[in-house]
Structure 1
Amino acid sequence: MVPLSEQRLRMRDRFLDQAVRELWKYDDRVRGLGIDVRFDRGVAHLTGEVDDAGRLDTARSVIGRLDGVLAVWDQVRVAGRDPVVLDLGCGAQKQYPANLGVDLHLTSEVDVRADVSAPLPFADGSADRVFLVHILEHLIDFLPLVDEVHRVLRPDGIAFVLSPWWRYVNAVADPTHVRLLDVQTIKGICRRAGSRRLWNPLHVGCDGAGVFAELRPLTDPADFPGEAELARFFD
């Protein structure tokens, strides 16, 4: 797998933008939704407002099934409430300005100083979204952090993961990277022996440079997706 050229990424974003415009016009499931969609290198960024979380989930699912979409990130108001979004290990750049930046080292973007390799200073079920962008590869053992994210997310929350793909040169060029990730790593995170922390993989992708994943916390094993659904993303 070879990363796409900048020109092809721009052309694909243009195609996806048009595809979503047609969905919003002709698909009854999403027609009339107050959601704006912007594509950047295959990632759909959703903003706006909906009446209930189910309609947002429908929009996310419809967009995520388009060929070429690597991830669906959202910061959408639901029933008049702004989402609580944690940006873990944000450093000097948060994914969205309104996110709550969390990092051990203070920058202008950090709102809460905390060590993400330790228990997070947030209550159970207090966050709607959690960004884990270029953080897991820096932790020798990232599973405790994954479990903490599971704890702080609301039942309908989502964790957004982005890490270098193990075969891409940047995965090993940075000497601070201590872990390598693949799409199959995400499968192992979703259900692992001895853990009660289950995840539903809403979307998983790889563009030859990075591994993307959107994970929803589960508590009931009966809700874990079947093999046919998992086959969308995993071997």
Structure 2
Amino acid sequence: MKNEATWRETKYVQRGGRLRASTDLREVVMGSRLCGDCIARLYDEYLPRYARGAAADLGCGKVPLYGAYRPHVSSVTCVDWGNTPFQTTHLDFECDLNGALPLEDASFDTLILSDVLEHIARPEPLWAEMARILRPGGVAFVNTPFLYWVHGAPYDYYRYTEFAHRRFAEIAGFEVLVLERIGGLVEVACDVFAKSASAVPVVGNPVAALAQSAVGLWSRSSTGRKVAHWTGRKFPLGYFMVARRLPAPQQS
């Protein structure tokens, strides 16, 4: 990663010993704080378990998760395309993730694809490239939205179900270790409300912030987790996955 010393927190921040969505409206719009917090909790839980070795952040943008995964890996390579609206001085390779990646075979142990796959017009080739550049036993962290507004237009192409995630991963030669739904009906309803409310002048942002704070507390309670588990089967806000690269089949 270029210019590591100048990296700063953007979308995600460490507060009180845990990863959270930033409250800086230049980094996270008011209506997306709840979603950001839900995603941050999952990376907080699973990065220490599975991230290791040489890491590549694909579709890295401003490298918002760098502070969370850096303590667990030995090196970081940042990859993104030229059309990204997020200007960064940390980019190692500029390329279109829909095509071949300028990275060597079996050269990484950890891949990060955070809010990226929905913007890839041809997901199958990217999965094949991920399998190519990962060492056997290496892992890919992937999160995508589901019941979530259109963003990054005109490059917002897909919403994947958990079944699609598992299918793409397994076809490419991965074993799914973790596949969790992000939120459920309550979180989806709050996300839509917060995004709508924040558009109202003067009072909108405080109302959206209050609603998301309340639902965030609910989501962390045992009852909230149970409700999200059941309602997320039909109404997930998104998905989070950790998939391990399997060894290539032995030639007979």
Q: What band does the TM-score fall into relative to the shorter chain? A: 0.5 to 0.7
| Structure 1 residues 127-206: aligned runs within 5 Å | 127-165=108-146, 168-170=147-149, 172=150, 174-175=152-153, 176-192=155-171, 197-206=172-181
Q: Is the 8 A contact 1:94 1:109 kept in 2?
A: no
Runs of 4+ in 1 over 2 A off after TM superposition: 39-42, 74-78, 172-176, 219-222
Q: Is the 8 A contact 2:140 2:242 kept in 1?
A: yes
Q: Name the CA distance, whole Å, in 2 between partners of 1:77 and 1:174.
A: 28
- Secondary structure of 1:200's counterpart equals strand
- Secondary structure of 1:143's counterpart equals helix
Deviation (angstroms), 1:130? 0.5
Q: Is the 8 A contact 2:51 2:110 kept in 1?
A: no
Distance verdict in 2 for CA 1:221–1:178, change over 3 Å:
same
Residue 101 of structure 1 pairs with residue 129 of structure 2: no
| Structure 1 residues 217-232: aligned runs within 5 Å | 217-219=245-247
* Worse-superposed segment, 178-187 or 109-118: 109-118
Q: Name the CA distance, whole Å, in 1 between partners of 2:249 and 2:121.
A: 28
Q: Normalized against structure 1, the TM-score is what?
A: 0.56
Distance verdict in 2 for CA 1:110–1:74, change over 3 Å:
farther
Q: Name the CA distance, whole Å, in 2 between partners of 1:76 and 1:181.
A: 23
Aligned length: 151
CA RMSD of aligned residues (A): 3.0
Which runs of no fewer than 5 residues in structure 1 stay unpaired?
1-9, 14-38, 46-70, 223-235
For residues 169-188 of structure 1, what are the alpha-carbon distances to aligned partners after superposition, in whole Å with 9 as ceiling and x for unaligned? 32x35533111111111121
For residues 130-165 of structure 1, what are the alpha-carbon distances to aligned partners after superposition, in whole Å with 9 as ceiling and x for unaligned? 111111101121110111001110111001101102
Q: Name the CA distance, whole Å, in 2 between partners of 1:142 and 1:117.
A: 7
Q: Name the CA distance, whole Å, in 2 between partners of 1:77 and 1:182.
A: 24
| Structure 1 residues 32-181: aligned runs within 5 Å | 41-45=40-44, 72-74=46-48, 83-97=53-67, 98=70, 99-105=76-82, 107-165=88-146, 168-170=147-149, 172=150, 174-175=152-153, 176-181=155-160
**AA aligned opposite 1:211:** Y
Q: Name the CA distance, whole Å, in 2 between partners of 1:104 and 1:75.
A: 29
Name the one with the larger strand percent: 1
Name the one with the larger helix percent: 2
- Larger relative contact order, structure 1 or 2 (CA cutoff 8 Å, min sep 6): 2
Q: Is the 8 A contact 2:50 2:139 kept in 1?
A: no
Q: Name the CA distance, whole Å, in 2 between partners of 1:132 and 1:185.
A: 16
Q: Name the CA distance, whole Å, in 2 between partners of 1:134 and 1:77.
A: 18
Distance verdict in 2 for CA 1:43–1:191, change over 3 Å:
closer
